[in-house]
Chain A
């Protein structure tokens, strides 16, 4: 089993839809969780960062972490064509065994 699993999609939704993006992981040492957004032919940019189970909101974006289920989600409300990008989850196991592991990314297209 891979340490981080992410459905590559592609996911296509109409403008205004609620989008749910998900990752599962197997390594209990992961403590910190991030979502990166990558536009076509650009570098990834940090979108959301969480370190505890529960929800974190930032505008139209909500990051959710369930450590007991080893499952993280990113919700996008009122999706816009400008949200069309690849979304990568990323996780850090901290301390002396520092390791940052990325999911392979989900390609999202929001159609106007």
Chain B
């Protein structure tokens, strides 16, 4: 069982380019999340999905979009990348977002540099 996989591991991107970060989980979790982690700012939630077919905005959603066509996959798209989107991006999943005892499991991350 792999858990959560993310691709690519790292990427350097020119500003203005479109980029999709991929995330796949094999735990049959209902909920999935995208975070960015920046020095001094910690983990910040970008978007989440309670279940396949639904998505919601987190703390810092501007400039990002997500889709959840099925249970396993939760891609994050940067339509037109800007240097402020340089960060480490983590995908996470959990069994049931609205359960008080729910815990999140994280992928290995994607390091994105926008020049």
Which A residues have a C-beta under 8 Å from some C-beta of B?
Answer: 8, 31-32, 34, 36, 41-46, 49, 51, 88, 92, 94-96, 98, 100, 102-105
Q: Does B8 contact A (CB under 8 A)?
A: no
Specify which of A31, A36, A43, A45 is in contact with B100 (CB 8 Å cutoff). Answer: A31
Which B residues have a C-beta under 8 Å from some C-beta of A?
Answer: 4, 40-43, 45, 90, 92, 97-109
Contact A45 B103 (CB under 8 A): no
Task: Classify the secondary structure of B's interface with A.
Answer: loop
Contact A34 B100 (CB under 8 A): no
Residues of A within 8 A of B4 (CB): 43
CB-nearest residue of chain B to A51? B101
Given contacts A88-B43, A98-B97, A104-B40, contact A45 B102 (CB under 8 A): no
